[in-house]
């Protein structure tokens, strides 16, 4: 997935906060999001690119931009595989 790709949450994805744990449900699976995955999920708006999300993650958690962007792309691959997001470009 290219850094200029733009993810958007699917309208049928359901999100629940259960005792501080963020769960995201799609048509096939329920995923439990880590703290960093929830940080990214909350910023997926159909406008920000993977690189922009990576930059925000890098700033928030004080990690290298390249590492953060790779982590965002990896998370999006999983979310895409579970029909939780759509991705334009890249």
For the chain, residues with pLDDT lower than 50 are none
pLDDT of residue 49: 97
pLDDT of residue 90: 64
* Tokens linked to 73: 């792309």
* Tokens linked to 11: 């309208």
pLDDT of residue 28: 84
pLDDT of residue 62: 96
CA-wise closest residue to 53 among 64, 66, 68: 68
Q: How far is residue 7's CA from residue 18's CA, in Å, rounded to a whole number?
A: 25
Domain ranges of the chain: 6-82
Architecture of domain 6-82: Orthogonal Bundle (1.10)
**What's the Cα-to-Cα distance from 1 to each of 14, 18, 60, 80, 87, rounded to whole Å?**
24, 31, 22, 11, 9
Residue showing tokens 């999006």: 76
């Amino acid at each position: 997935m290219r850094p200029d790709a733009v993810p958007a949450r699917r309208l049928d994805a359901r999100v629940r906060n259960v005792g501080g744990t963020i769960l995201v449900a799609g048509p096939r699976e329920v995923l439990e999001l880590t703290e960093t995955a929830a940080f990214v999920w909350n910023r997926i708006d159909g406008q920000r690119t993977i690189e922009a999300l990576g930059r925000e993650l890098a700033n928030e958690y004080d990690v290298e931009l390249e590492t953060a962007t790779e982590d965002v792309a990896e998370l999006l691959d999983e979310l895409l595989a579970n029909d939780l997001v759509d991705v334009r470009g890249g």
